[in-house]
Structures are given as C-alpha cells and as structure tokens.
Chain A
C-alpha cells in the first residue's frame, strides 16, 4: 500500500521474476546476450541512484526480492510471470518451480503463473494440467519468441496453441499474458505483430489476453486491437520506467492507452528485477500529463491511478482489496468514452 496526499493506493505488481541470470546458469552466448540486454534496459531507464552492479542484477536473493517489493516497494501482491528460456539457461531463467518455491514460503504475498508452449504437444498439455493443479493457476505467461531447437518462435494462431487455450478455459486459467519478442517463425515476419492476439481474443471471449509491454514497440497495433476486443488488456511492464527518463513519452503512452482503451484494462508492473517498484509507484502517483498535452490526453485522476496501480489486476485475479482501499466512487470509467469498435471497423474497412 502507498499513501500520499490523503489518497491510499492498493498496489499489485503484475509482472515480476525471480531469475537466475548468473554466468553459471548461462547455457551459451545467447543466455549471456539476453541477460546483458536486460541489464542495458535497467541501466538506460533507471534513475542513477537505482542502478545495480551487473553481479547484483544477475541474481537477487530471496531477501533482496522481499525487501525490494514489500518492504521498500509498497507492493501488496506480486504476480510471478515465468520465463523458461531453457535453450539459453541451464536450469531455465525464471521457472514456475523457482517462483513457486518462494511463493510457498510467503503464500500471502505472491500469485504464481504458469506457462506453456504449443510446440510441446501432448506432453506439454499434461504438464500444464499438473502445473494448474499444483498452483491453482489463474494465469499463464506466454513467450512467443522462445527458441526451441531449430524453431525460433511461434504464433497464438498455431493449431496447438488453440488446443492449449481451450485447455486453459477448461482449467479456469483465464488470464493469458503474452510477451512478443524479437524472433518468431517465419523470421521474415514482424515478430512484434499482435495480429494473432486479435484472432484468439475473438475466438476465446471468456479468456483475457494481457499484452505485456502494451505491445511496445507496436503500441499503435496494440491499441487498434484493444479498442475492438474488450477482453484485451495492456500490461505496463517496460512502459513504466519511461516515467523517469522520458516523461513526455510516458504521458503519450498512457494518454494513447486511455484514449483507445479505458482505465479498466491497464495494469501496473515493475518487471522486477529489471526495475524496482518503489520509485515507479512514487513517480506514478506524482505524475500528471504535461499541461500542453492535456487538450489531447486529459488528466490522470487519483481514481485512474488507483485502478492502474492495483484494482484492475485485483479484479483479474480475484485479489481481495482491503476495506477502504477500493474506489470511493462507483466503478465507472472517468475518462472519455473509448472509441467504439464498430465505428472503427466501418471507418477503416476499405
């Protein structure tokens, strides 16, 4: 929980990791490159006072994580999003099992998400069932750019992906987090293209598709889909830290999201350990759309911030919000009405 200026904010960090990126766990130059790429993200967008040594960035202890999130970081509940990357890291980078060990020791603090990969076929389906039973999964994190032997990625519209999504529906796993990445088969296509999200969101109206990083670097494509598919959400991991180094760009991202979607479908995330929630929460609560941009984007009210920081994710994951931490006002969008999908379709269909 975070309090400022008489306002209370319930904080759900929707995207965290407990990873092992140490050289001992790096299987090859790809694992090293992956970790170093993250480290550059961290160094580029963190305030100087928050920059860690490479060694500390490679792996955090349990105590570090608890401190960074819950003691210093105001977080009430954190959601583990696994990233297996077993082709890059000997024991996997950040698996449900690694995350789960921590969650078992601190059951009130974490939600554990699973993962699946359509290329694992029947065996993967059985593994997902076991995982769902073991952790009462409410969500999965999918990484379409994951390498697997000769394969350099997959699409949500692959045949086996549909079967896994049906299985999720059956198992009550409603939150499907999607991370797009730099590679996908075939390599000549844009790996960041979110068109496949559009297709599965239509095919599975009871599932929610949370596009991580709000579709960056394809913000416009993400907005276009989300405005037409009410079950598409945007996770702010990677978008959040721009609040420090490029506040005007951050204002544009938030402004565009509020214009095309609404404040009920955007969720806060630190992407720990790339960044830590403390400074992100503080800066977001203090943040306002710059005056010269308000004509275009409006302003952020405490209610909008409350929803983004925790209440939206609490709704997705049935997290109990303590008395008095919810919305003082009835739960209606405070922003302008989102653009109606029918209008968009009509206007943009040649």
Chain B
C-alpha cells in the first residue's frame, strides 16, 4: 500500500532520530492498561518517531504533530495536526502516508491515520486510506507522485549534514584540500544520519565513500568547496528557521505544547 516505488529517494523518509524525541507523548497509556494494547501503543509511538516532516527534516513526534496515538479494540488510531490550515498539501500527504506505512509495519491489526484541521484533510485522509497515491487523491490537480519532491528535500538535508561535519573539521584545523579527500570511514564524527540520507538518495554511503559528494554523488573539488559549503550553510539556516517557525505556529494554534 506504499505510495512510493521501491528504492532510491522514493523510500519513505524514516529516520533513526526517534531516540532524540524530547516532547512528551500526548497520551501515554495509563498504568494497568492491558499489556498488549500498551505494548502496541508504545510500538506505534516509536514507529511515528521514525516519520519525518520532509521539509523540516525532523520527526513528527518531536515537532508536536501527533495529536493522538491510541489503540482501540486492536486498531491503532493516530491523529496528526499541522501548524497552519494551509500547510502545503503535498508535504501533509507525505507525512500521513509515511505514518500509515510505519504503523502498518508494527501493527498486527488495522491502522487508521487522520489529519485534522487542514484545508485538504478530506482528500488526504481518503487518499491515504485507499492507498492509490497522491495523484489519485487530487484528480486533475497533480501531475504524478511526490518522489521528486521528497528527493529535493532529502538533498537539502544531506547538503546541510555534510556542511555541519565539514564546518567542525575546518574549525579543528583541517584544510579544504584535506576535506575533499576524506572518506566516511576515516571520521571520528557520528555519520549515522548522513549515511541514512545517502542511502535514501541512492548515493554511496559505505566507509570508502567520500565525506563530501555533490547532489549526484560525484566528487567535489577543493576549489568549489568553500562556495558549496557556504550555500549549504544557508540551506541549514533555512531548514532550522522553518522548523522554529512551524513549532511556534503550532504552539499558537493549539496552545503551548512544549
């Protein structure tokens, strides 16, 4: 029922960042709840922690987008909410579809994901439930699926991760010429997230892969590196700024959540 084809950038943007969740769960199971339901609910929450906002590159659980997550009569029911009524419908669809997919992987029974308070809630909820893809959910208004869109934002996140690591190394005294020769396996830095984005983009991610590659996975020369890093820095400012703005608006819309 996946909305995406297999392989490359089209795979669902799941992340191992769930462990970093700082936000409280909206409704932790009460003590004494039947063990199975409580266990499934915890598993569902963990699964949602792997679902990213593709634009903000952060888990939906961390962003406060999960309004409810519960198990009722064996069915996993999740409600998602967004910072504004007019959040872009394509990103909203990706999150609902990814959430459904992540939950289906851990739930033995039925799964229901609903997006609340959005101008296109109805189309998105119905479309994801049927599983025919984005194009079918918005007949006549879309021209294909969301794989390219997802890939665009994975590339932005990937560039930002590379820049972060490169900036730290430069600060520690490395030169641009050394940086372009470095391999992932030679780094003391944690490259987990960088490698995951690489895999999602179909770019080399093993120990022998260069630390720095361009969007197509090709090598980067030392001469163009400063400008490339400078632009990636701007991309990072943009991503972080957007995430802060979205958190703020969500708090304003639903009452302070953090």
Number of interface residues of B (CB under 8 A): 46
- A259 and B230 CA atoms in complex are apart in Å by 10
Task: Specify which of A36, A41, A190, A223 lies most central, judged by the most chain B CB atoms within 10 Å of its CB.
Answer: A190
User: B169 within 8 Å of A by Cβ?
Assistant: no
- A343 and B227 CA atoms in complex are apart in Å by 9
Tell me the nearest residue of chain B to A193, going by C-beta: B152
A187, B138: Cβ atoms under 8 Å? Answer: yes
* A residues less than 8 Å from B248 (CB atoms): 44-45, 245
User: B129 within 8 Å of A by Cβ?
Assistant: no
A252, B241: Cβ atoms under 8 Å? Answer: yes
B234, A220: Cβ atoms under 8 Å? Answer: yes
* B residues less than 8 Å from A347 (CB atoms): 223-224, 227-228
* B residues less than 8 Å from A260 (CB atoms): 234
Q: Identify B234's interface contact among A29, A217, A256, CB under 8 A.
A: A256
Chosen A-B contacts, 26 in total, with CB atoms closer than 8 Å, are A29-B119, A30-B119, A34-B86, A37-B84, A43-B252, A44-B248, A182-B88, A182-B89, A186-B142, A187-B134, A187-B141, A187-B142, A188-B146, A190-B90, A216-B241, A217-B55, A217-B241, A219-B234, A220-B231, A220-B238, A249-B241, A252-B237, A256-B234, A346-B224, A348-B228, A348-B231
User: B106 within 8 Å of A by Cβ?
Assistant: no
B88, A183: Cβ atoms under 8 Å? Answer: yes
Chain A residues engaging chain B, CB cutoff 8 angstroms? 29-30, 33-34, 36-37, 40-41, 43-45, 150, 152, 181-183, 185-192, 216-220, 223-224, 245-246, 249, 252-253, 256, 259-260, 339, 343-344, 346-348, 350
A249, B223: Cβ atoms under 8 Å? Answer: no
A220, B143: Cβ atoms under 8 Å? Answer: no
B252, A40: Cβ atoms under 8 Å? Answer: yes
Q: How far is the CB of B234 from chain A (nearest CB, A)?
A: 4
* A residues less than 8 Å from B227 (CB atoms): 339, 343-344, 347-348
A249, B244: Cβ atoms under 8 Å? Answer: yes
- A191 and B90 CA atoms in complex are apart in Å by 9
Q: How far is the CB of B213 from chain A (nearest CB, A)?
A: 11
A188, B228: Cβ atoms under 8 Å? Answer: no
Q: How far is the CB of B129 from chain A (nearest CB, A)?
A: 18
Q: How far is the CB of A148 from chain B (nearest CB, A)?
A: 12
Q: How far is the CB of A180 from chain B (nearest CB, A)?
A: 11
- A287 and B59 CA atoms in complex are apart in Å by 34
Nearest first, the 10 closest Cβ-Cβ pairs linking A and B are A33-B85, A186-B143, A347-B224, A44-B252, A219-B238, A220-B234, A220-B235, A217-B242, A188-B142, A187-B142
Tally of contacts, chain A with chain B, CB under 8 A: 117
Task: Specify which of A40, A152, A339, A343 lies most central, judged by the most chain B CB atoms within 10 Å of its CB.
Answer: A40
* A residues less than 8 Å from B141 (CB atoms): 150, 152, 185-187
Known contacts A189-B149, A220-B234, A260-B234; A350/B218 CB under 8 A:
yes
* A residues less than 8 Å from B234 (CB atoms): 219-220, 223-224, 256, 260
Task: Specify which of B84, B143, B145 lies most central, judged by the most chain A CB atoms within 10 Å of its CB.
Answer: B84
Tell me the nearest residue of chain A to B55, going by C-beta: A217
Q: Identify A182's interface contact among B86, B142, B149, CB under 8 A.
A: B86
A350, B214: Cβ atoms under 8 Å? Answer: yes
Q: Identify A37's interface contact among B85, B230, B245, CB under 8 A.
A: B85
User: B33 within 8 Å of A by Cβ?
Assistant: no
* A residues less than 8 Å from B87 (CB atoms): 182
A188, B144: Cβ atoms under 8 Å? Answer: yes
* A residues less than 8 Å from B27 (CB atoms): none
Q: Identify B145's interface contact among A33, A185, A188, CB under 8 A.
A: A188
* B residues less than 8 Å from A190 (CB atoms): 88, 90, 149, 152
- A253 and B87 CA atoms in complex are apart in Å by 22
* A residues less than 8 Å from B134 (CB atoms): 187-188
Task: Specify which of A29, A182, A256 lies most central, judged by the most chain B CB atoms within 10 Å of its CB.
Answer: A182
